[in-house]
Amino acid sequence: MDDVGEIKRLREEYEGALDEAETKRATYHRAIKKMHLSGVPLREIAEQLGVSHQRVHQIVTGEPERRPKRSKTARNVVAVVLLFAVTAAGVTLAFAWRRRGPFTPVAEGPIASNLVSMPSVTAFRHRSATTPLSK
């Protein structure tokens, strides 16, 4: 039971620190805006404070800070979804290929009259296969 009380106390301290930090951030931003409104250029403010002029510009215009890039978890989810989509497409193509059967060209027109029947020589060795082909 003492552990729960300690955890609640730590949470209250943590939330209080967050509130205090937010108050200090707002005060800091107001001071920068006031300095800029008095006519000090952004680059000069940035140089005096030791921050980038882009950051000073964000503070003055009220733009939010850039959010961090997507987490590894989000990237992993995207990767799994893409892998699933590619696999599903491959299975679909394989199934369609299997149902259709191997490709067999159909000869039509004047070329069909020039076709010659070839003996099957796939089971023979090289010397044995040349004999039926030379006839």
Two structure tokens written together for 59? 């503070």
* The pair of three-digit structure tokens given for residue 53, joined into one six-digit string: 């002029």
Provide the 3-class DSSP secondary structure of residue 1.
Answer: coil
Evaluate if pTM is beyond 0.85. no
Cβ atoms 53, 42 nearer than 8 A: yes
19-28, 52-61, 107-116: the lowest-pLDDT one: 107-116
How many Å apart are CA 89 and CA 35, to the nearest integer?
Answer: 60
Instruction: Compute the distance between CA of residue 55 and CA of residue 64 in angstroms, rounded to an integer.
Output: 10
pLDDT tens digits along 46-89: 999 999 999 999 999 987 666 656 566 777 777 877 777 778 77
Domain ranges for the chain: 11-61, 68-99
If you average pLDDT over residues 104-129, what whole number do you get? 64
24-34 residue pLDDT tens: 999 999 999 99
**pLDDT at site 86:** 78
Element (DSSP H or E) covering residue 78: helix 72-100
